[in-house]
Amino acid sequence: MTIPPLKGIISYPVTSFHTATGEVDLAAQSRLTDDLVAAGSHAVAPLGSTGESAYLREAEWDAVCATTLQTVANRVPTLVGVSHWSTEGTIRRARVAARHGATAIMVLPQVYWKLTQTELEQHYAAVAAATDLPMMLYNNPGTSGVDLLPETVVALARKIPNLTMVKESSGDVARFRAIRELSEGELSVYNGSNPVALEAFRSGAAGWCTAAPCLVPQWALELYAAAKRGDDARADAVLAELLPFLTFIVAHGLPRAIKAGLQLQGRGAGRPRTPLLPLPDQETEELRQMLEHLTGHPLLGGAGPGTAGHTA
């Protein structure tokens, strides 16, 4: 059985923008990244959909990649989302990530036309061949419009040696076990659907890819710790507290919700980039109440004190 290069809580930072100009704010990006490492994240994964990577210019993407990896400074593993509409663009990003010292890369089939099996194989094979980094296939039918079933995932991995990991975000918990069994344990599976985090761990997921640690890191870490040691009562109790928040941030879009939460905590990362818009006032107030409950601290909006949450 393959030993996964990543495990545990894999934290997804948003991409920070200057409020006044809308340009990438690399100083804020570095602070958020450092917060995630200091809070105990087992890995950091920039430039996924949470990081609004599809809306970044290539020079911006490169700068965020470099800044994040430099800030992490090999304290924990890094997983860089290198997806692009074209194979050429994905290869370019993969090489940039490798040059800056990424531990692994993640590839979502980010498409307009639905890809055939042959096109998927050629795309993933070409990206995998561009570096010698381990590669994570990212299945997120809700954002990509392509649903890669376990049989398809395993067939791709058999043809691409460094495709060793799968992030499964369909919300179908049965797929975690199916991928592991079909691949005879050679593929490590990671959960990307926040509401099923505990079920995923119980079904053999090696890690949880989540933006939740941007706002409440200790709750995410405690859920993983309880699941890992088999403390079902504690894991169930933690999930019961955390689930309304997890459901909320997914339902309202991670960049919107996480950036609103950071603003409430006095750790602003700017507005989402259009066409995304900030979280509306009513929903922001709902988020404030959830965060105050989870952290035990009153929040004062942009002028309030920063907080990384408390031990769950």
Report, as residue numbers or ranges, the catalytic residues: 138, 167
Contacts of 237 (CB under 8 A, 6+ apart): none
Q: Is the dihedral of CA 241, 244, 245, 246 positive or negative?
A: positive
Quick one: three-class SS letters along 247-310? Answer: HHHHHCCHHHHHHHHHHHCCCCCCCCCCCCCCCCHHHHHHHHHHHHHHHCCCCCHHHCCCCCCC
Alpha-carbon gap, residue 137 to 281, rounded angstroms: 36
Residue in this structure with the two tokens 């060793």, named with its chain if needed: 164
Please give the single-letter amino acid code of residue 272: P
Strand 43-44 relative to strand 188-191: parallel, antiparallel, unpaired? unpaired
Q: Residue 178 carries which side chain, given as an amino acid letter?
A: A
153, 137 in Cβ contact below 8 A? yes
CA 219 – CA 162 distance, rounded (Å): 32
- Collapsing DSSP to helix, strand or coil, 249 comes out as helix
Overall residue count recorded for the chain in this entry = 312
| Other CB atoms within 10 A of residue 170 CB | 17
CA pair distance 288, 309, nearest whole angstrom? 13
In the numeric block, which tokens belong to residue 235? Answer: 């894991």
Question: Alpha-carbon distance 167 to 137, whole Å?
Answer: 6
- Joined together, the tokens standing for residue 232 give 């079902």
Compute the distance between CA of residue 182 and CA of residue 112 in angstroms, rounded to an integer. Answer: 29
